[in-house]
Amino acid sequence: MSLEQQKELLHELAELALKRVKELGAEAFVNADVARQYATRFSNSEILQNYVDFKRSFELTVVYNDKQKSTSVTNDLSKESIVKLAEYVTKVAKLVPPDPMYPGIFKEKQEYPNLQLNDPSAQNLQPDDIVDKIDGAIIAGEAVDQKVAGVSGNFLLSDGFRIYSSSSDVEVIYPSTIIGTTLNIHAQDSDEESRSNSDFGGRIFNKLDMETESQEVAERAVKGLGTVSIEPGDYEVVFDHQAAFTLVLMTAMATSSMQLINRRSFLNDRIGQQVFDDDLTLVNDPHNLDLLSARPIDDEGLATQSFPVIEDGILKNYAFSRLHAAKLGAVPKGCGFSFFGRTIGFPFAMVMKPGLKPKEELIAEVDDGLLVTNLHYTNFVNPPVGSITGMSKDGLFIIKNGEIVGSAKNMRFTDELPRFLKDIDVGKEIRQPTSMMGIGSMVAPIRAKSFKFTSKTEH
């Protein structure tokens, strides 16, 4: 069955599910997708697996009596499975306690933007095309230095369609191409080892520059040899793109209506306040065609909107789901995001406004500090004050008098977002690290004048 035929099948199954739910006295909406996936794994500079398959997902949300809601998902696209799903989810919806504030199925007519979110050439891709691109990345990485001991990672290109359809006659079908790639490069010198990592992606296959990315990752891996232990303390830090992505994600989480409802956000009641340095501007921009999380419609059926989240360091907007907006007296802006069976408000398409200085200049301005490549196991410790903790990973480099002079063993940090993001410089280069969660962000490097590392590690 072709991809176009599977799209039509998805449409028919959505109608079937909505019809069955209506027969059972309820309303519903469907979020579903089908895509042709090209998946490749490689390790120690050898391709281990390269295949093409179809990915299918069908999520059904049933609302009974306007106030009782239940959601479930399947990847079995047989008619029998979809009918059973409709009957099961409706049964559960009738059993769950009603939420008097839930606004019911979205029924208003809206104009949904027509976004070109697919790579037209993807339908003609062959597995050998991907092999050639990965071989180029392997060769480029190994050519950096004889100490490069292996290039590993994975490649995933998903090309297909997404559909939203509801019993209130709202239907949006749009194409989407998403490419996500991970590179792990290992360097070795005698008995000493080092590695570096990059998660990056794009939408257009021919524009994905894996060779340049591989060279940069390999250079970091080689520079990571010869690590020394340094003391915990307060350091001036340059966060590279991967690390900056994590900081943006944690900041975005604090603007989620879920955190506001639970009173767990350090941004509660701070709209219009100068929370961060005036160099920090973040915009939720779901119509940015380069952004992998761009989309015309959210998971609740609202048309997505672009809006500032943080502007010149001033908090401008939160991200609301429809339920949380009703509870808090706000107006949702198409930020409903399905998250492990529940829907929250989340700015899932963040874009950082770039600064004027390239990363090299940010580093050159540091007298005594660190370059952080990646952050690992990052979580909130005390959400109401914005305290986060985690570890550095895959490259922690020592900066002296504006130059990288060596690498350090990883350290654990604990610090407060509104403290260390209060005095920063934002770099010039914008990149898009990838996330498995369907959340996207285009970020630049960040130089923070003060960041607190609290303890050492052994590696």
Task: For residue range 27-46, list pLDDT tens digits in order.
Answer: 999 999 999 999 999 999 99
Residue numbers of the domain that contains 233:
227-456
pLDDT-above-90 percentage for the chain: 94
Q: 205 and 232 in one domain?
A: no
Structure tokens at 118: 């697919």
Amino acid letter at 4? Answer: E
The count of other CB atoms within 10 Å of the CB of residue 358 is 14
Euclidean distance between CA atoms 110 and 131, whole angstroms: 43
Domain boundary among 197, 219, 241: 219
Q: 249 and 207 in one domain?
A: no
Euclidean distance between CA atoms 241 and 444, whole angstroms: 6
Mean pLDDT of 175-199: 94
Q: 234 and 207 in one domain?
A: no
Q: What is the β-pairing status of strands 387-400 and 403-407?
A: antiparallel
Q: 239 and 212 in one domain?
A: no
Q: 332 and 381 in one domain?
A: yes
Cα 441 from chain centroid (whole Å): 6
**In 3D, which of 48, 37, 38 has the Cα closest to residue 152?**
48
Euclidean distance between CA atoms 410 and 375, whole angstroms: 10
Q: 193 and 323 in one domain?
A: no
Lowest average pLDDT, out of 30-34, 198-202, 336-340, goes to: 336-340
What's the total number of domains in the chain?
2
Structure tokens at 109: 């007519």
Cα 325 from chain centroid (whole Å): 23
> Tens digit of pLDDT for each residue in 67-118?
999 999 999 999 999 999 999 999 999 999 999 999 999 998 899 999 999 9
Strand partners, 192: 189
> Tens digit of pLDDT for each residue in 204-246?
999 999 999 999 999 999 999 999 999 999 999 999 999 999 9
Domain boundary among 159, 189, 219: 219
Q: 209 and 97 in one domain?
A: yes
Kindly tell me if the per-residue pLDDT of 436 is higher than 80: no
Kindly tell me if the per-residue pLDDT of 291 is higher than 70: yes
pLDDT band at 13 (very low <50, low <70, confident <90, very high): very high
Q: 260 and 173 in one domain?
A: no
Q: 303 and 212 in one domain?
A: no
Please, are residues 41 and 7 in contact by the beta-carbon 8 Å criterion?
A: no
pLDDT band at 435 (very low <50, low <70, confident <90, very high): confident
Kindly tell me if the per-residue pLDDT of 16 is higher than 90: yes
Residue 201's domain is classified under what CATH number?
Answer: 3.30.2290.10
| DSSP for 202-247, written as a single string | ES-GGG--HHHHHHHHHHHHHHTSS-B----EEEEEEE-HHHHHHH
Q: How far apart are the first and last CA of the chain?
A: 50
Mean pLDDT of 413-437: 93
| Torsion of the alpha carbons at 43, 46, 48 and 51, rounded to the nearest 10 | 110
Domain boundary among 169, 195, 219: 219
Q: 296 and 178 in one domain?
A: no
Q: 206 and 108 in one domain?
A: yes
Please, are residues 38 and 52 in contact by the beta-carbon 8 Å criterion?
A: yes
How many CA within 13 A on the CB side of residue 179?
Answer: 21
Q: 161 and 255 in one domain?
A: no
- Return the pLDDT at 157: 96
* Average pLDDT value over all residues in the chain: 95
> Tens digit of pLDDT for each residue in 393-408?
999 999 999 999 999 9
